[in-house]
Copies of this chain bind each other. A is one copy, B any other.
């Protein structure tokens, strides 16, 4: 464990479940956020929840994300809170009993009132963070946003101050009880996301070499 600051524990980020393991180390939040690039953004529109997948990038204290829906909800209600959830599924927990079946996962939830990023310099920096988070090396390689594109981009910033992390890992828990006597196989089916071979755009002009940062991504 590092000496990183703890995550806050407000009423809604306090962990209520047992098997799922709540974490309070800030480094664990960073690790979950670093391990992905797609979040599920929850907003309330006209009193109804709406959950949309969107891309994010994170600094040490801020989550940047796209979101026209969040942007609409911000216009409707500038103080409206959102919940951003990032989940990585690591495996299926196959127990002796159906009841003890579960999923190994790492998940982060961030609550707060997002801020629409308006200032062009901050927007450019936020988009750099987001782009580099998803595909390191692309910001300096691809053409950066024009002023017009920047104006057409919705970028939101959310503080990481109120966040919680839950991690479920390991094997089923019914091996030591009476179910352990059952002739039922038990264990874990690991799941992970892998990258395939890069597919060149059919419209790619001949003679453009694959840059090293992309070749490295595909080889991982």
Q: Interface of A with B (CB < 8 Å)? A: 12, 16-17, 37-38, 40-45, 47-53, 55, 68, 81-85, 87, 89, 91-92, 94-99, 101, 103, 105, 107, 109, 111, 127, 131, 134-135, 138-139, 141-146, 149, 152-153, 171-172, 175-176, 179-205, 208-211, 214, 217-218
A143 CA / B202 CA spacing, docked (Å): 52
If over half of A's interface residues share one DSSP class (helix, strand or loop), that class is named, otherwise mixed; here it is mixed
CB-CB under 8 A from A37, the residues of chain B are 103
Number of copies: 2
Q: Are A98's CB and B139's CB within 8 A?
A: yes
A83 contacts B49, CB within 8 Å? Answer: yes
* Known pairs A92-B134, A103-B38, A181-B205; A52 contacts B193 (CB<8 A): no
B48 touches A111 (CB 8 A): yes
A184 touches B217 (CB 8 A): no
Q: A49-B43, A94-B135 are in contact. Are A191 and B196 (CB under 8 A)?
A: yes
